[in-house]
């Protein structure tokens, strides 16, 4: 069945084109466009779940990183936004479980462009050599953005998102106050989003 017979919106079809460019050509601008389209929506969805702005910013970054790492697995059976929100929701639920936070409700119903409820499972990598290579390409794409950051932010982001250290561990590693680490990571995320939207000339 042709994609345009499935009832997808124009925006969903544009997303499919961007995904093709990103996966097949490793097009940095295509990744940036996908991030720009959905960053705010993902952030506010996560913020409703956990009620903490710093953690919501972290989890938004993680959601995009996971989505980009698995973009080669995306199938056009449903919209990119539904798939992305499911990744973000699952990641946030994992975070909540780890932190044992009390939340209002985790039963967020996701709908596709046709208003239908959708439940999507994202498979983990199976350590297939080809998958590992593709995953490394996704990580390299994220690094492209990170490497455009000023040096003092670059190391913080790498420790947080690539080495997956906690705020406390980063503070000890860099011998900086915890408050400073949180503030600088917050600023680094803002800069990353600006870079992804093509605004690095202002940095």
Query: pLDDT tens digit string along 92-127?
Result: 888 887 776 443 333 344 444 444 544 444 444 445
Q: Rounded distance, CA 172 to CA 169, Å?
A: 5
- pLDDT confidence of residue 65: 86
- pLDDT confidence of residue 52: 83
Mean per-residue pLDDT for 128-143? Answer: 56
pLDDT grade, residue 192 (50/70/90)? confident
Mean per-residue pLDDT for 177-190? Answer: 86
Q: Which helix (H) or strand (E) holds 114?
A: none
Q: Find out whether 110 and 79 touch, Cβ atoms under 8 Å.
A: no
Q: Which fold has domain 147-203?
A: Arc Repressor Mutant, subunit A (1.10.10)
Q: Rounded distance, CA 58 to CA 75, Å?
A: 26
Tens digit of pLDDT for each residue in 167-178?
Answer: 899 899 989 999
Q: Pick 3-130's CATH classification: 1.10.10.10, 3.40.190.10, 1.10.1740.10, 3.40.1160.10.
A: 1.10.1740.10
Q: Rounded distance, CA 171 to CA 180, Å?
A: 8
Q: For residue 67, what are the β-bridge partners?
A: none
Domain with CATH 1.10.10.10 in the chain: 147-203
Domain with CATH 1.10.1740.10 in the chain: 3-130
Task: Name the 3-class secondary structure at 87.
Answer: helix
Burial (0-12, 13-18, 19+ Cβ within 10 Å), 200: middle
Tens digit of pLDDT for each residue in 78-87?
Answer: 899 999 999 9
pTM for this entry? 0.56
Q: Is pLDDT at 201 greater than 80 in this prediction?
A: no
- pLDDT confidence of residue 16: 93
């Amino acid at each position: 069945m042709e994609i345009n017979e499935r009832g997808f919106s124009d925006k969903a079809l544009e997303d499919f084109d961007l995904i093709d460019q990103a996966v097949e050509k490793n097009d940095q601008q295509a990744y940036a466009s996908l991030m720009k389209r959905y960053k705010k929506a993902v952030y506010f969805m996560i913020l409703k779940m956990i009620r903490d702005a710093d953690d919501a910013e972290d989890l938004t970054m993680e959601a995009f990183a996971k989505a980009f790492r698995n973009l080669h697995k995306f199938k056009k059976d449903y919209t990119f936004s539904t798939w992305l929100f499911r990744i973000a929701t699952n990641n946030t639920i994992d975070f909540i479980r780890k932190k044992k936070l009390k939340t209002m409700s985790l039963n967020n119903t996701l709908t596709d462009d046709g208003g239908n409820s959708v439940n999507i499972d994202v498979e983990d990598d199976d350590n297939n050599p080809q998958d590992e290579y593709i995953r490394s390409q996704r990580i390299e794409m994220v690094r492209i953005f990170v490497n455009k950051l000023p040096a003092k932010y670059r190391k913080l982001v790498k420790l947080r998102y690539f080495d997956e250290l906690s705020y406390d561990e980063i503070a000890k590693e860099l011998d900086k106050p915890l408050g400073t680490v949180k503030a600088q990571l917050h600023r680094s995320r803002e800069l990353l989003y600006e870079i992804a939207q093509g605004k690095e000339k202002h940095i």
